[in-house]
Amino acid sequence: MTLDIATARSARPYSRREYVGRVLWALATPLFRCSPRPLFGWRNLLLRLFGAKLGRGVHVDPGARIEIPWNLELGDHAAIGAGVWVYNLGPIRVGARATVSHRAHLCGGSHDYTDPALPLLRTGLAIGDDAWVCADAFVGPGVTVGEGAVVGAAAVAMRDVEPWAVVAGNPARVVKRRALRQAQSP
């Protein structure tokens, strides 16, 4: 197989509207990134203005990099830490009360390496409710991290992670099960 570099470089994987949106988001990004850390409401407003679907009490650190806000959905009380790269070429959903810790990478796109033109694949991914993607972890295209699961620090999850599993390593493998604990009612 010979790569078709000319076709790959001339491909236009986005609509005109998406290209315009990406340029506008790039111009607005300094307003997001330069905001003081406690101004979660301000950053949430900017994300919503660009089409993100955000629940209540969402915390997105100003150091997070959101590639395409209209492809982002964050459930109630979800948190995105400093230095997280949300590469959401396809839709990325982070569930309620889920946490994505600092410098993690959520990769919602890739290229079809079996095609000589290397077309863009906009697969997206999903992080379940109450899940935790730890520091420096990588969650690959098309992966679902189940409810309550933990992707350990610096782990590389290229396959789905079962609910309430704790995975670690490269490639990520189950190292234990997380016990389901019900919150105490006051």
- What digits encode the pLDDT tens for the residues 64-122? 999 999 999 999 999 999 999 999 999 999 999 999 999 999 999 999 999 999 999 99
Does residue 123 contact residue 138 with C-beta atoms inside 8 Å? no
pLDDT for 179: 83
Does residue 96 contact residue 47 with C-beta atoms inside 8 Å? no
Q: Give the chain's domains with CATH numbers.
A: 13-176 (2.160.10.10)
pLDDT for 5: 87
Predicted confidence (pLDDT) per residue in 2-35, tens digit: 888 898 888 888 999 999 999 999 999 999 999 9
CA distances from 27 to 19, 45, 52, 69, 121 (A): 13, 16, 17, 13, 25
Does residue 136 contact residue 23 with C-beta atoms inside 8 Å? no
pLDDT for 185: 46
Distance (Å, rounded) from C-alpha 27 to C-alpha 11? 24
Predicted TM-score of the model (pTM) = 0.93
> What mean pLDDT value characterizes the chain?
95
Predicted confidence (pLDDT) per residue in 30-69, tens digit: 999 999 999 999 999 999 999 999 999 999 999 999 999 9
